[in-house]
Amino acid sequence: MKISELSECSGVSIASIKFYQREELLPEPERTSPNQAQYDTQHVDRLRLIRALVDVGGLSVATVRTVLAAAESDIPMDWAMGVAQRAIPGSVELPATTTRGVSEIDTITETLGWKVSPDNPGRGMAARVIDSYVQLDHEEILSVLPEYSRAAMIVAAADLASVGLQPSRMRMSETVVVGTVLGDSLFAGLRRMAQEDEARRRYAQVQS
């Protein structure tokens, strides 16, 4: 497959393909001469994955590079999840000092008996959100934490179950990456629909 055909059947412009090569998002094609190269379905798949992570997941090109590198490395399964998570944006460090958010998060994880390493990227993410809420004087956030956590457990269990279905380690890594990134968007979409339904139940004047 020549670059023009790759472009054709992936829907990505030749210029962009070259850009992704420069940025090392695409594996090297097989060279048949100094100015000719052969591409295959692997490249088509990779381009699709890139576009999904960028368009649907909202990742930057730089982040996609990191994430793909993590997905390719051959690490033990119980690490892969963490590596993928850490490569993904929003993975901010914890605030330097122990803030309100950190202590609220730690309280709830302890209550639920979660074993979470102190540098789990989600911990910083969630703590930062809570700190923002508190700063904004919206402390009602604290009242939803238990329900959010319960829902997170359900989602996480489903995530891990779907990873367990995969036949190979490489496939599992890809599932982790795709699932982590796109899963956020998927859940956000479902949440919006559920909100509409719930709002209807609570506030409907005209209930059919």
Partner DNA sequence: CCACTACCGATAGTTACACTATCGACCATG
Partner DNA sequence: CATGGTCGATAGTGTAACTATCGGTAGTGG
Q: Which does 4 bind (CB under 5 to 8 A by kind): DNA, a copy of itself, none?
A: DNA
Binding to DNA by residue 34, rule CB under 7 A? yes
| The one segment of 35-43, 73-81, 100-108, 113-121 that binds DNA by CB under 7 A | 35-43
Answer yes or no whether residue 11 interacts with a copy of itself by CB under 8 A.
no
Structure tokens at 59: 């990742």
Q: Which is nearer to a copy of itself, 21 or 91 (CB)?
A: 91
* CA distance from start to end of the chain: 57
46 binds DNA (CB under 7 A): no
By a kind-dependent CB cut-off of 5 to 8 A, residue 117 interacts, out of a copy of itself, DNA, none, with a copy of itself
How far apart, in whole angstroms, are the C-alpha atoms of residue 158 and residue 155?
A: 5
CA angle 119, 181, 200 (to 5 degrees): 105
Residue 60, interface with a copy of itself (CB under 8 A)? no
- C-alpha 187/C-alpha 190 separation (Å) is 5
User: Candidates 16-24, 28-36, 64-72, 127-135 — which segment interacts with a copy of itself by CB under 8 A?
Assistant: 127-135
Stretch that binds DNA, among 57-65, 83-91, 160-168, 178-186 (CB under 7 A): 57-65
Tokens 């490569």 -> residue: 87
Q: Which string of DSSP letters, residue by residue, matches 7-65?
A: HHHHT--HHHHHHHHHTT-SPPPEEEETTEEE--HHHHHHHHHHHIIIIIT---HHHHH
In this chain, which of 143, 168, 170, 173 binds a copy of itself, going by CB under 8 A? 143
Closest separation in Å from C-beta 142 to DNA: 28
Per the DSSP assignment, residues forming a β-bridge with 33 are 36
Contact 49, 171 (CB under 8 A): no
74: contact with a copy of itself by CB under 8 A: no
One residue of 28, 35, 74, 136 binding a copy of itself per CB under 8 A: 136
| Contacts of DNA in 59-88 (CB under 7 A) | 60-62
- Which residues contact residue 64 at a Cβ distance below 8 angstroms, ignoring those fewer than 6 apart? 25, 50, 53, 54
| Backbone torsions φ then ψ of 29, nearest 5 degrees | -80, 165
Q: How far is the CB of 54 from DNA (least distance, A)?
A: 5
Residues in contact with DNA by the rule CB under 7 A:
2-5, 13-16, 18-19, 21-22, 29, 32-37, 54, 60-62
